[in-house]
């Protein structure tokens, strides 16, 4: 299967997090937010600000083996969201739901929480309650923390 890449800039991430926060407003107020680490940390911070929510907890899940993050393994919670108990009144925030395997584990740990993410792929879409945008299953989303701006010489300076 061919892989497509979608680059999300800081500006786009911020806009999408605010869009998600606006859509979540009618469901609140929330007791707190649980960020799925690591990808959910920054969206959770933006959403916490927009919803004026001061309690931000995290749940740490490891679901990729290897340095390249290309081999998915069975997800394991390495740090539970203790403050959230069973999740009642809490909002779970992640950046992306891909296969849904991580989301399943998080939902089992926090069955009464509302799960929201910025982006959802078809295979994982059913495991989230709310998302901003769907991306195709063969798209690898490059988040701003995964990339670095590099100098690109003007076209006129490139050798023919």
Q: Provide the annotated active-site residues.
A: 94-95, 98
Residue 141 is assigned to a ligand binding site:
yes
Rounded CA separation 143/130 (Å): 19
Residue 100 is assigned to a ligand binding site:
yes
Residue 34 is assigned to a ligand binding site:
no
Residue 13 is assigned to a ligand binding site:
no
Residue 37 is assigned to a ligand binding site:
no
SS3 for 11-58, per residue?
HHHHHHHHHHHHHHHHHCCCCEEEEEECCCHHHHHHHHHHCCCCCEEE
The number of residues making up the chain comes to 160
Residue 94 is assigned to a ligand binding site:
yes
Rounded CA separation 117/94 (Å): 5
Is residue 7 classed as helix, strand or coil in its secondary structure?
strand
For helices 41-50 and 10-24, the axis angle rounded to 10 degrees is: 50
Nearest to 77 by CA among 92, 93, 61, 65: 61
Instruction: Output the six-digit token pair for 86.
Output: 């069973």
Residue 145 is assigned to a ligand binding site:
no
Residue 101 is assigned to a ligand binding site:
yes
Residue 52 is assigned to a ligand binding site:
no
Binding residues: 38-39, 94-102, 140-141
Binding residues for xanthine: 98, 141
Binding residues for guanine: 98, 141
Binding residues for GMP: 98-102, 140-141
Binding residues for Mg(2+): 95
Binding residues for 5-phospho-alpha-D-ribose 1-diphosphate: 38-39, 94-102
């Amino acid at each position: 299967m061919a892989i497509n890449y979608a680059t999300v800039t800081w500006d786009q991430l911020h806009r999408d997090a605010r869009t998600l926060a606006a859509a979540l407003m009618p469901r609140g107020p929330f007791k707190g937010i649980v960020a799925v680490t690591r990808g959910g940390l920054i969206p959770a911070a933006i959403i916490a600000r927009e919803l004026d929510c001061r309690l931000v907890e995290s749940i740490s899940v490891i679901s990729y083996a290897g340095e390249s993050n290309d081999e998915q393994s069975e997800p394991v919670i390495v740090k539970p969201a203790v403050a959230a108990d069973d999740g009642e009144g809490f909002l779970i925030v992640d950046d992306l739901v891909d296969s849904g395997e991580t989301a399943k584990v998080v939902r089992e740990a926090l069955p009464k929480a509302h799960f929201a993410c910025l982006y959802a792929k078809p295979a994982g879409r059913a495991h989230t309650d709310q998302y901003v945008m769907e991306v195709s299953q063969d798209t690898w989303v490059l988040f701003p923390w995964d990339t670095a701006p590099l100098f690109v010489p003007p076209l006129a300076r490139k050798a023919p």
